[in-house]
Every structure is written in structure tokens, then in C-alpha cells.
């Protein structure tokens, strides 16, 4: 037992083998060293009552239930903190392997959910595996421009009406988010430049946002460069994906409008590291500069109060599904982002952006009991989430 551990940790041993995520799981009171991701007063005991795959109660209420019902077992977790499993807010499940293999990798890494943001129009929409995790919130094929400015992960469209109709069609087909590719890729050979920076205009973005809002869905915008991100904010987008080459004024506007930012730093770091030798030494140097610039912007974004959400672009070059979440955490910590922000961005904030805040991302009654037990507080050391001592699924 850790030094100065609270007395309730002596209730029973630390061996925990039973799964907790099944609907038929019997009630169990977990007695931890601490709870991360719970709105619990410091004076409350870090106890968690779970049953039927859900969190039933926290703190003293959990202990009271266990005391009142002899059928509820108690399990101590000496020296271990409990937290919700993380989410990846930006992946491409059809890239980097088969969908099934990528979902398996995500589950093996301990992800509770992923947001799948675009695939080729001829591909079927990835679905949540039976029972989960991870749950999949998908966009289906993205909405993009026609011709050279378009993306192969999107349907090519032209005009506001086409964007509106396509967004409505995605909603009818069960998408949980609408994705618009408003710009092309980064111009690796010219740092600071974006390919096809005017691919989708304000009128098209606004039409897609209106359709998404009418269906009760968020709208994510792939955009980099100040003009494109400013258009996304003006149109009322829910999130900006990637968002490279931003200035303080643009980030301040994002913060004021509560537009979430998913900066996908690890995707460019992977290109700079170039594990397959695709790039020239000069290009790797330029990519490293783009990466460092994104880290600097990320630190500014935190200081300005931008809603930072952790997503990875998993499936792109050098980013394996599941493991990518921890690569992205490394980038944020390198940027000087506070560890508690990293933790919140991968849990509570990500769950809110995915529309799953009632079930995932925090420890509260009614949430899924998809838990990690860690040898320390992940709000201080978020990378401990990569190597849990135990998990419930």
C-alpha cells in the first residue's frame, strides 16, 4: 500500500480479475487511491460503485451502498488511481489497415471511442464493434470541393445547395458528425502555405453548418491557414481539425466562439521523423519546423482559452490506431501544455465533442464503467494511461 494511504484501502486485496463492462456484471465497490475525472470533493473517499457495466455511485454514497448491501463486494486498489478511458477525436479507420484491425488496435490501446472523420465515398461507414469499446462516431465520406481542390476522403461538391443536401444525406444515413474538407493538405515544401486554401467558401460552409444544426449534429472542418479557419469560425463550425499556421487573433476568435481545436500535432511529427524514408533530408527539416510551429501555437491556444481536444489523424503516415493517442499526448507535453489539460482533452472534452459526455469521458453515475487503474494521478502524468496496471474492459 502506498504511504499515507487512506484507511478504506485496507478493505480487501488488490487482485481484480473480473470484467466490469458487461451488462450482467454484479455490483462492486472499488476503493482507489484517487479518482481522476470525477467531480468529487477532496473530503470524499475515492470510492466507485459499478454494476451492470455502468458507474452507479461515487464517494461516500458508493461506500454507503456497499455497507448497506452485503451482496456488494468491495475491492481495494492500493496505490492505484481510477480514471475514464480516453477517446481519440480524429481518426481515419479505413486507413492504415482494415477497419476491423484498426478497431482492435484501438481497443487494445484502451480507447473508449473514436471519431472517424472521412473516407472514400466508395467505402462503407465503419461501425461500432458489437458491444464496444471503442464506440465509433463517424462522419461518413467528407464534404469537399470538386476537382483538384477536393479530397479523396470526401464527396466532390459545388455550391451551397449541394453542400446542404449532402450534409442532410449524411444525417439521414446515421452520421454522428458532418465533416467538411475546407482546404487541401499542408504544402510541405513551402512552410506556412496550404494547398487549395480557398477550396470551400463561406457560403458552402454555412449551408453545411445549417444542415448539421438542423439535424442536431456538430460540424468538423478540416482547415489550415488563417483565412480558412476564420471562415470556419464565422460559419459556426463545432471544431477545426488540424488548424496549422494560426495567429493569436484567430485563436482568440476560436476561444470566444467556443470552437474546439483538434491540432493533430503527431501527424506532422511522424512525417518529420519519416520512418519509411519517404522524404528528403531538406524536407524533413522543413517538416520539423512546421511541427515546432504547431507546438508553439498549441501553447498559445491553451493560454488564450481555446477548447483544445485531443485527436490524432490515426491511420495517416506513421500513426498506428490506438497508440497514436499517446504520441499526440507526448507532443502536447513537449509543447508545454499543462498535464491536466492533456488529460481533460483526451477524456471529458473529447467526449463532449463526440456527443458522448453522458456516457464517457468522466466518472459519474450513469457513465460506462470503462476504467483504467493507474499507478499515479493521470492529471499529473497523462502518459500513464498508456500503461494501466489494470483496466475494466
For 256-274, the pLDDT digits (tens) are 999 999 999 999 999 999 9
Grid coordinates standing for 250? Answer: 484567430
pLDDT at 21: 55
Q: Is 68 helix (H, G, I), strand (E, B) or coil?
A: helix
CATH number of 87-353: 3.20.20.140
pLDDT tier at 10, thresholds 50, 70, 90: very low
pLDDT at 295: 98
CATH entry, 7-84+361-391, from 2.30.40.10, 3.50.50.60, 3.30.1180.20, 2.60.120.260: 2.30.40.10
Please, what is the average pLDDT of the chain? Answer: 94
pLDDT tier at 20, thresholds 50, 70, 90: low
Q: What pTM does this model have?
A: 0.94
- Who's near 374: CB < 8 A, 6+ residues apart? 36, 80, 81, 82, 83, 384, 385, 388, 389
pLDDT at 13: 36
Smallest CA-to-CA distance from 320 within 97, 88, 123 is with: 97
Q: From the CB of residue 340, how many other CB atoms can be counted at a distance below 10 Å?
A: 14
pLDDT tens digits, 186-222: 999 898 999 999 999 999 999 999 999 999 999 999 9
Domains of the chain, residue spans: 7-84+361-391, 87-353
Angle value at C-alpha 83, between 80 and 89, nearest 5 degrees: 145
Average pLDDT over residues 334-350: 98
Rounded to 5 degrees, φ, ψ at 317 are: -50, 120
Residue 350 has pLDDT above 50, yes or no: yes
pLDDT tier at 131, thresholds 50, 70, 90: confident
pLDDT tens digits, 214-256: 999 999 999 999 999 999 999 999 999 999 999 999 999 999 9
Average pLDDT over residues 289-311: 98
For the chain, give the percent of residues with pLDDT over 70.
Answer: 94
Amino acid at each position: 500500500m502506498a504511504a499515507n494511504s487512506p484507511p478504506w484501502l485496507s478493505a480487501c486485496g488488490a487482485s481484480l480479475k473480473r470484467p466490469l463492462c458487461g451488462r450482467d456484471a454484479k455490483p462492486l465497490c472499488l476503493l482507489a487511491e484517487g479518482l481522476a475525472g470525477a467531480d468529487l470533493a477532496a473530503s470524499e473517499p475515492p470510492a466507485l460503485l459499478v454494476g451492470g457495466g455502468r458507474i452507479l455511485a461515487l464517494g461516500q454514497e458508493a461506500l454507503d451502498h456497499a455497507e448497506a448491501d452485503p451482496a456488494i463486494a468491495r475491492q481495494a486498489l492500493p496505490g492505484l488511481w481510477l480514471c475514464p478511458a480516453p477517446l481519440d477525436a480524429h481518426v481515419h479507420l479505413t486507413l492504415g489497415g482494415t477497419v476491423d484491425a484498426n478497431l482492435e488496435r484501438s481497443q487494445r490501446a484502451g480507447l473508449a471511442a473514436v471519431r472517424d472523420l472521412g473516407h472514400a465515398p466508395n467505402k462503407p461507414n465503419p461501425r461500432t464493434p458489437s458491444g464496444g469499446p471503442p464506440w465509433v462516431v463517424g462522419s461518413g465520406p467528407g464534404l469537399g470541393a470538386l476537382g483538384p481542390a477536393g479530397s479523396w476522403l470526401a464527396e466532390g461538391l459545388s455550391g451551397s445547395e449541394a453542400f446542404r443536401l449532402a450534409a442532410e444525406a449524411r444525417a439521414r444515413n446515421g452520421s454522428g458528425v458532418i465533416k467538411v474538407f475546407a482546404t487541401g493538405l499542408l504544402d510541405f515544401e513551402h512552410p506556412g502555405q496550404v494547398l487549395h486554401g480557398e477550396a470551400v467558401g463561406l457560403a458552402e460552409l454555412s449551408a453545411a453548418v445549417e444542415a448539421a444544426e438542423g439535424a442536431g449534429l456538430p460540424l468538423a472542418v478540416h482547415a489550415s491557414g488563417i483565412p480558412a479557419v476564420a471562415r470556419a469560425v464565422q460559419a459556426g463550425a463545432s471544431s477545426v481539425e488540424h488548424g496549422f499556421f494560426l495567429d493569436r487573433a484567430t485563436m482568440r476568435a476560436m476561444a470566444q466562439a467556443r470552437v474546439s481545436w483538434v491540432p493533430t500535432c503527431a501527424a506532422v511529427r511522424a512525417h518529420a521523423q519519416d520512418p519509411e524514408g519517404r522524404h528528403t533530408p531538406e524536407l524533413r527539416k522543413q517538416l520539423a519546423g512546421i511541427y515546432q510551429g504547431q507546438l508553439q501555437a498549441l501553447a498559445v491556444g491553451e493560454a488564450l482559452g481555446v477548447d483544445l481536444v485531443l485527436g490524432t489523424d490515426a491511420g495517416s503516415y506513421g500513426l498506428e490506431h490506438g497508440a497514436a493517442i499517446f504520441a499526440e499526448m507526448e507532443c502536447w507535453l513537449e509543447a508545454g501544455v499543462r498535464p491536466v489539460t492533456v488529460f481533460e482533452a483526451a477524456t471529458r472534452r473529447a467526449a463532449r465533442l463526440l456527443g458522448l459526455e453522458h456516457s464517457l469521458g468522466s466518472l459519474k453515475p450513469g457513465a460506462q464503467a470503462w476504467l483504467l487503474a493507474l499507478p499515479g494521478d493521470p492529471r499529473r502524468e497523462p502518459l500513464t494511461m498508456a500503461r494501466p496496471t489494470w483496466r475494466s474492459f
